[in-house]
Amino acid sequence: MRRDKFPSGIAGVSVGEIERQVPADEAPPLPTNDRLAVIGKSVPRINGRAKVTGAARFTVDIKLPSMLHARLLRSPHAHAHIVSIDTQAGERHPDVRAVHVITDVVGRAIERDPGTDHGAGGRLPPALYVGAPIAAIAATTPEAADAALRLIEVEYEVLPFVVDMEDARKPDAPAVFALPVVGSGFAGGVPAGGELQQHGNIRGPSKAGARGDIDAGFAEAEVVVEEEYRTQVQTHCCMETHSVVADWRPDGLTVYLSTQFTAGVRNELAEAFRLPRNRVRVVVDAMGGGFGSKSSAGNYARAAVALSRAAGAPVRLALDRREEQLDSGNRPGTFQRLKIGARKDGRLSAISLYTYGTAGTATGAGVGNVAQAMYECQNFASEQYDVFINAGPGCAMRGPGNTPGAFALEQTIDELAEKLTIDPLLLRDRIDASPVRREERRRGAERIGWSRRHVPGADKGPIKRGIGVAQSLWGANVQTNASCEVRLLRDGSVEILSSVQDIGTGIGTVLAQVVAEELGLRPQDITVRIGDTDFPAGPPSYGSRTTASITPPARNAAYKVKQMLFKIVAPHLGVAVEDLLMRGGRIVVRSDATRSLSLRDAAATLRTDQIGALASRSDDYGGFRRTMTDAALAENDLGGVQFAEVAVDTETGIVRVERFVAVQDCGRPMNPRQIESQVQGGILQGISYALFEDRILDRHTGYMLNADLEHYKIVGSRETPDIDVIVLENYQGQSATDAYGIAEPSNIATAPAIANAVYNAIGVRLRQLPMTPAAVLAVLGRIPRGS
Amino acid sequence: MLEASLAVSPVIAETKTATIGSDAGPLTLKINGTVRTIAVAPHSTLAEVLRGPLDLTGTKIGCDRGACSACTVWLDGIPVASCMMLAIDVGDRSVTTIEGLSDGDKLHPVQAAFIEHDAVQCGFCTPGLVMSCASVLAQNPHPTLDEVKAATSGHLCRCGTYPHVFAAMLAAATTGKG
């Protein structure tokens, strides 16, 4: 280990130094961005040209010789036992090459002791929602596959079902699962595993995070606010639907998959199909959006692999938009009762949260940790429950848990501020210990013009404007199981190799910047090879962890290669290794800049065609807050403070977001323009969640009524406000790049910022999402409230 | 734009006594300045034909029912949703896809502006958006922000590139190109 000094603090506030213990083989500390050539600059996206010319290759664009086309047979019933399946007629269709019946479902909860659920006594797993996948067919054309699906005969025993969360909670509700279940994955709330109690469709409670004495806390409160909130189920709406091309060959399996985690899927498929990992390869080039829904190998991908194995040919399977809406994951809906007690000066004495939510046939509905972690409060208690309904399994969606959780928390804090007659920002200054969020509040308030804010409902006339604020908190995840290789070739060209995937965030560009900075090159001189498990395993692109996890290994691998090259070159120049640096494509003698040689000339002296080095993510230099398998939680959370300015038309109920200011932090910002894209994207998804989106299930048939993009409404260009993004440079000296993520923190505060702005505009609060025109008119008393 | 895509092509009108059966038959199309003849089943959409036998996968299918505009191409210079028309209805109109927008290595000003202003994230909606934006500039070299918003209002972008798309379009406009 070495002791190194790193910049520490927020640029523009105060940046000092902090000393850290650093592994001896890692690169020395980077200075602040203003003193760097490439890092921290808005380098154009390296795959931008491919994307604007249509050359970028998405999974749905891949064509392999002899490729077959697969389609999934899906349940038309919301709940049914599958008594029998007869695939013979389908198999006899002249264009069909393979048929696969799904016997092991993934993604949804499974009964702990297999009873009526999968595999037991040779029974097939029951169909638990409209659209549940049952079987798959591979044929020479998509039309033939569709036609052959209709020839499969399924005998269903139709069972009672329930799709309304409140109906599902009743003691006499039809049971989605006959026996207690265990889940998998993370959707933001109730832990998946473990032996939680389950009564009917209600699983829980999970009481994680409790601290102090909640009763004593409320006893000392001088003011109490207690309110109920509801948030809707939201679907991811990736523009590229879930798609796969599976190519099973005698010497190994190659899977082209629109995925957020090539390395994870590789391991999953190796296990599922009992192959050694060194015979499984997962590849993705361009990828059309994930937002949490493409983190693993779902039923569709596994079916494609099974079909490819059976047919001896590559198989493509792409979900259509209806399937995508029904069965590719969703953000669970929630009910929350939040009670906060405080002293008259604003200090919180107690926070109590009772919440239940539905992830359909999966576990993990919940509201995250914002109520528990955002503000200082000694006494906290929560009870979280899953409620099962016969609907597609939920999964993580951009800021799982914290996004619905912040909707309740930030409105309740605003309400508390009003009751205490303290300005909402001033109250947060008193109860929020985070110096980063303090600075974010300060900058954002100035940019939005917080002093213009009037009392709620003050505007005369039918159009009423208002300004609101809300905060986000998100754990800074780091994937410790993340590695990167850098190679210098004998002609002086440089490659970066990692299985990490660029899902639209621009990590490929950032990697080029990191290595270019280290080797004194331009980003365009570097070839970035990513999205392929033939390369060292990188992190997933979820949890806002990609940049934090893979940029330090990339830098450290480049540093190692540089040291190797210096060892070769130094004797020829008659200097010590420490006396060399790389700049402008050359190796330069530090003490005499007139002495240098080009990287090309230096590389020409290599004994072999290349030198290379691998580096993996070490621990944060100051230590992690918590360590898990393959990942860890950094000491400091990520955050953001967002301000919304809205105009509410009290005659139509339409809420227009006119202006938005977001102040966010991500450690050392690596590429400002790409970061701005991410933050804008998070805000737009947040506006969409706040005002438009809602998955509607018909109570009587279990069908999703808006399984498309016309009736399931997402934000478009006309709803896009003026968005002002400010990103702090928050140096912490925690890794070779000191960079963290931003995708989810940019999405979490948006809906409550809008809700608080709406309250400021009309003087009445909306506690349910989405805030539709009907909902606004109802709280204004202009139309009767719906059920 | 809607009128253009609904017009019955002269080819169909001429052959109204010929039967078009369910099997694939030859179809000749003008694509990006080149005449191509391929085998096409009558029920195939233009989007399917572009992405399939013509190997032009730049045009994307996002919803296959005209709700997202990812599949936007030009017919005689006018943007249409290629998933919402049959290939056999194109007739002798010229089809321009995203692959035909740039001039060899030389990018269209909208493409260059998209890169410069980072109006791209995952890139799936991008080809369709670029086609609509290029068409806007061709008709109105100096659009206002509201005109840009209206022109792109049919395009769904889940990643949220809209603010940078607006910046790219306004920049491409003020440079007087396109």
pLDDT 10s digits, B12-69: 444 455 666 778 899 999 999 999 999 999 999 999 999 999 999 999 999 999 999 9
Chain B CB contacts of A727 under 8 Å are: none
Identify whether the C-beta of residue A570 lies closer than 8 Å to the C-beta of residue A514: no
> Does B63 sit within 8 Å of A709, measured CB to CB?
yes
> Among B55, B50, B52, which residue's Cα sits nearest to residue B131?
B50
A123: DSSP letter: P
What is the interface size between A and B, counted as CB pairs within 8 Å?
Answer: 165
> Does A287 sit within 8 Å of B122, measured CB to CB?
yes
Q: Given this model, what pLDDT does residue B15 score?
A: 47
> Does A54 sit within 8 Å of B97, measured CB to CB?
yes
Residues A205-239: b if buried by 16+ CB within 10 A, e if exposed: bbeeeeeeebeebbeebeeebeeebbbbbbbbbbb
Q: Find the CB nearest B115 among A48, A708, A710.
A: A48
Cβ–Cβ contact A125 with B under 8 A: no
Q: How far apart are alpha carbons A589 and A21 in whole angstroms?
A: 28
Does the structure show a pLDDT above 80 at B175? no
Q: How far apart are alpha carbons A589 and A609 in whole angstroms?
A: 25
> Does B62 sit within 8 Å of A321, measured CB to CB?
yes
Reduce the DSSP state of residue A498 to 3 states and report it: coil
Q: Given this model, what pLDDT does residue A622 score?
A: 97
Strands A68-74 and A133-139: antiparallel
Rounded to two decimals, what is the model's pTM? 0.96
Please write the tens of the pLDDT for every residue from B65-119.
999 999 999 999 999 999 999 999 999 999 999 999 999 899 999 999 999 999 9
Q: Given this model, what pLDDT does residue A786 score?
A: 64
Q: In what order do the strands lie in the sheet with A68-74?
A: A96-101, A133-139, A68-74, A315-318, A243-249, A252-257, A280-283
Does the structure show a pLDDT above 60 at B4? no
Q: What is the 3-state secondary structure (H, E, C) of A389-420?
A: CCCCCCCCCCCCCHHHHHHHHHHHHHHHHHHC
Q: CA distances (Å), A711 to each of A120, A705, A708, B83, B153, in order?
A: 40, 8, 6, 18, 16
**H or E element in which residue A65 lies:** none
Class of residue A478 by CB neighbours under 10 A (exposed 0-12, middle 13-18, buried 19+): buried
**Alpha-carbon distance A566 to nearest alpha carbon in chain B (angstroms):** 36
Chain B CB contacts of A41 under 8 Å are: none
> Does A286 sit within 8 Å of B162, measured CB to CB?
no
| Best residue in B103, B122, B157 for a mutation probing chain A (most A CBs within 10 Å) | B122
Determine phi and psi for A512, rounding to 5 degrees. -60, -40
Does the structure show a pLDDT above 60 at B7? no
Identify whether the C-beta of residue A217 lies closer than 8 Å to the C-beta of residue A350: yes
Q: Which two tokens stand for residue A749?
A: 């505060």
How big, in percent rounded to 5, are the helix, strand and coil portions of chain A? Answer: 30, 30, 45
Class of residue A495 by CB neighbours under 10 A (exposed 0-12, middle 13-18, buried 19+): middle
Chain B: residue nearest A681 by CA?
B160
Q: Find the CB nearest A44 among B116, B156, B165.
A: B116
Chain B: residue nearest A675 by CA?
B118
Q: How far apart are alpha carbons B102 and B124 in whole angstroms?
A: 18
Please write the tens of the pLDDT for every residue from A433-468.
999 999 999 999 999 999 999 999 999 999 999 999
Chain A: residue nearest B134 by CA?
A52
> Does B51 sit within 8 Å of A681, measured CB to CB?
no
| Best residue in A42, A45, A53, A546 for a mutation probing chain B (most B CBs within 10 Å) | A53
Q: Which amino acid is at A221?
A: A
Cβ–Cβ contact A147 with B under 8 A: no
Identify whether the C-beta of residue A595 lies closer than 8 Å to the C-beta of residue A63: no
The angle that helices B162-174 and B109-116 make with each other, rounded to 10 degrees, is: 130
> Among A725, A676, A262, A720, which residue's Cα sits nearest to residue A503?
A262
> Does A55 sit within 8 Å of B58, measured CB to CB?
yes
Q: Given this model, what pLDDT does residue B2 score?
A: 47
> Does B158 sit within 8 Å of A239, measured CB to CB?
yes
Contact map slice: A 48-107 vs B, CB within 8 A = 48-58, 60-61, 63
Examine residue A276 and say whether the peptide bond preceding it is cis (omega within 30 degrees of 0). Answer: no
Beta bridge partners of A58: A286
Strands A252-257 and A243-249: antiparallel
Beta carbons within 8 Å of A571's beta carbon, 6+ residues apart: none
Ranges in chain A, pLDDT < 70: 114-122, 185, 190, 192-194, 786-787
Chain A CB contacts of B127 under 8 Å are: 52, 54
Q: Given this model, what pLDDT does residue A392 score?
A: 97
> Does A51 sit within 8 Å of B62, measured CB to CB?
no
Identify whether the C-beta of residue B43 lies closer than 8 Å to the C-beta of residue B20: no
Q: What is the 3-state secondary structure (H, E, C) of chain B?
A: CHHHHHCCCHHHHHCCCCCCCCCCEEEEEEECCEEEEEEECCCCEHHHHHHCCCCCCCCCCCCCCCCCCCCEEEECCEEEEHHHCEHHHCCCCEEECHHHCCECCECCHHHHHHHHCCCCCCCCCHHHHHHHHHHHHHHCCCCCHHHHHHHCCCCCCCCCCHHHHHHHHHHHHHCCCC
Q: How far apart are alpha carbons A557 and A487 in whole angstroms?
A: 9
Q: Given this model, what pLDDT does residue B11 score?
A: 47
Chain A CB contacts of B164 under 8 Å are: 676-677, 680
Reduce the DSSP state of residue A14 to 3 states and report it: strand
Strands A526-529 and A494-497: parallel
Give the residue carrying structure tokens 């805030």.
A771
> Among A483, A480, A741, A478, which residue's Cα sits nearest to residue A634?
A478
Identify whether the C-beta of residue A99 lies closer than 8 Å to the C-beta of residue A90: yes
Q: What is the 3-state secondary structure (H, E, C) of A18-45?
A: EEEEECCCCCCCCCCHHHCCCCCCCCCC
Please write the tens of the pLDDT for every residue from A222-249.
999 999 999 999 999 999 999 999 999 9
| Best residue in A47, A51, A676 for a mutation probing chain B (most B CBs within 10 Å) | A51
With vertex at residue A538, the alpha carbon angle to CA A533 and CA A542, rounded to the nearest 5 degrees, is 110
Chain B: residue nearest A258 by CA?
B122
Q: Which amino acid is at A734?
A: Q
Identify whether the C-beta of residue A554 lies closer than 8 Å to the C-beta of residue A498: yes
Strands B25-31 and A730-731: unpaired
> Does A53 sit within 8 Å of B111, measured CB to CB?
yes
> Does B59 sit within 8 Å of A54, measured CB to CB?
yes
| Best residue in B32, B121, B131 for a mutation probing chain A (most A CBs within 10 Å) | B121
User: Mean pLDDT in chain B?
Assistant: 90
Cβ–Cβ contact A199 with B under 8 A: no
Q: Find the CB nearest A503 among B61, B63, B122.
A: B122
